[in-house]
Amino acid sequence: NFMCFENFEVKEKVIDTAGLLGSSSGLAVVDCSASSETVEILMQAIDLGCCVVLANKKPLTCKIDDYEKLISKFRHIRYESTVGAGLPVIASITRVLASGDPIFRIIGSLSGTLGYVMSELEDGKLFSQVVNAAKGLGYTEPDPRDDLGGMDVARKALILARLLGWRINLDELKVESLYPNELGPSSMSTEEFLTRGLQSLDSYMADKVRGASLKGNVLRYVCVIEGSRCHVGLQELPKDSPLGRLRGSDNVIEIYSRCYKNSPLVIQGAGAGNDTTAAGVLADIIDLQDLFL
Ligand SMILES: NC(=O)C1=CN([C@@H]2O[C@H](COP(=O)(O)OP(=O)(O)OC[C@H]3O[C@@H](n4cnc5c(N)ncnc54)[C@H](OP(=O)(O)O)[C@@H]3O)[C@@H](O)[C@H]2O)C=CC1
Ligand SMILES: N[C@@H](CC=O)C(=O)O
């Protein structure tokens, strides 16, 4: 992991070590931060022969030209934990594509935080209470507004769309936020948002959940990648649909391709949390060993 990589001396140390050990030992640089500033140092590390493992989504959601540079040595970079934490989402999609089977639709619930929050709201709990609980359980981003604003899901959607070969940028995605601008990072700190800002949304969210429930529906934050559309937002879905049945921090992703046309390939399970995320990172590191046998 990096230790404050904005610091010039630390950057130099990482690059020196990468230069010394990169090509001879297959040194893996692991980025488990939530920073968008690491992309340059990761590209340098790869150029010096290192491998890169990411739990951090942000380097993969930089501008398309930098993204293409970052993944140009695609066998040297692994990022399974960026989507669905330890669930084998990237690996499965990569295998389907490698077999020549074109994927034409992906739909899923890809936020452990929003899945947990929505299912807890159905049980009558307060929005502010369940968002704070999700943070305590290790599901949220360091600033939970990344989750509630839809940007964390949008990043995952972009990572998947780019894996399918789409040359798009984050600002081309349609993203629905669950909080208004007045509660954004330019108006208040994360702490203020958690203690004060969130409470102002309690009754609005309770009404939304109640409105859906009266129609036999539940709310789920959904990601759709299809045709030329890639969008993420809240949807009202039947309680007994695959997405509607999700509980807690579970993610579900349905992948439609020529082989999985009528009955999609479905991946479901815990999609957030320290254990499963760390397991995904570890599996990536171990997987990279094959390059050096
Ligand atoms: N939690 C989860 O379920 C999942 C998380 N991820 C991803 O993993 C990453 C980490 O998430 P998570 O562990 O939950 O978050 P945490 O806040 O627990 O950890 C983030 C870590 O990164 C460090 N960090 C952040 N910015 C910098 C920086 N500029 N320089 C050095 N260190 C920095 C923080 O240090 P400090 O505390 O000192 O600020 C902290 O140790 C995120 O990118 C997240 O999207 C991916 C899948 C699932
Ligand atoms: N904050 C994310 C963590 C995993 O990417 C989530 O809630 O899904």
List of residues 6+ apart from 75 with CB closer than 8 A? 291
For residue 282, is it within any domain? Answer: no
Q: Which of 24, 45, 78 is the last residue of a domain?
A: 78
Beta 103-109 vs 250-257: how paired, if at all? antiparallel
**Nearest partner of 158 among 220, 54, 230, 85, judged by Cα:** 230
Instruction: Clarify whether residues 44 and 136 are in a common domain.
Output: no
Distance CA 209, CA 216 (A): 11
Asked whether 33 and 52 are in contact (CB, 8 A), the reply is no
235: left (phi over 0), alpha (psi -120 to 50) or beta: beta
Angle between helices 202-214 and 112-122 (to 10 degrees): 70
CA of 153 to the centre of ligand 2 (A): 8
**Tokens, residue 68:** 């293409």
271 close to ligand 2 (CB < 6 Angstrom): yes
Instruction: Clarify whether residues 109 and 42 are in a common domain.
Output: no
CATH number of the domain that residue 194 is part of: 3.30.360.10
CA of 239 to the centre of ligand 2 (A): 23
For residue 87, is it within any domain? Answer: no
| Closest CA to ligand 1's atom 41 | 33
Ligand 1 contacts (CB < 6 A) are 2-6, 32-35, 55-57, 81-82, 85, 112, 138-139, 141-142, 272-274, 277
Place of tokens 């934990």: 81
Atom of ligand 2 nearest to the CA of 111: 8
pLDDT tens digits, the chain, 293 residues: what are they? 445 566 778 888 888 888 888 777 778 999 999 999 999 999 999 999 999 999 999 999 999 999 999 999 999 999 999 999 999 999 999 999 999 999 999 999 999 999 999 999 999 999 999 999 999 999 999 999 999 999 999 999 999 999 999 999 999 999 999 999 999 999 999 999 999 999 999 999 999 999 999 999 999 999 999 998 999 999 999 999 999 999 999 999 999 999 999 999 999 999 999 999 999 999 999 999 888 87
Q: Looking at this protein, which amino acid is placed at residue 53?
A: V
**Tokens, residue 74:** 């695609």
Q: Please report the beta strands in 37-183, taking only residues with DSSP state E, as ranges in sequence order.
A: 51-54, 77-78, 103-109, 174-175
Helix (H, G, I), strand (E, B) or coil at 141: coil
Instruction: Clarify whether residues 41 and 142 are in a common domain.
Output: no
Which range marks the domain in which residue 21 is found? 8-78
Instruction: Clarify whether residues 58 and 128 are in a common domain.
Output: no
Instruction: Clarify whether residues 55 and 169 are in a common domain.
Output: no
For residue 174, is it within any domain? Answer: yes
pLDDT of residue 4: 58
Exactly one of 11, 57, 156, 208 is catalytic; name it.
156
Active-site residue flag, 208: no
Instruction: Clarify whether residues 73 and 110 are in a common domain.
Output: no
Distance CA 112, CA 35 (A): 20
Atom of ligand 2 nearest to the CA of 57: 5
Instruction: Clarify whether residues 113 and 169 are in a common domain.
Output: yes
**Nearest partner of 161 among 115, 253, 225, judged by Cα:** 225
Structural domains counted in the chain: 2
Instruction: Clarify whether residues 71 and 208 are in a common domain.
Output: no
Instruction: Clarify whether residues 73 and 160 are in a common domain.
Output: no
Instruction: Clarify whether residues 21 and 160 are in a common domain.
Output: no
Instruction: Clarify whether residues 240 and 111 are in a common domain.
Output: yes
For residue 205, is it within any domain? Answer: yes
For residue 70, is it within any domain? Answer: yes
For residue 73, is it within any domain? Answer: yes
Instruction: Clarify whether residues 70 and 117 are in a common domain.
Output: no
141 close to ligand 2 (CB < 6 Angstrom): yes
| Closest CA to ligand 2's atom 1 | 140
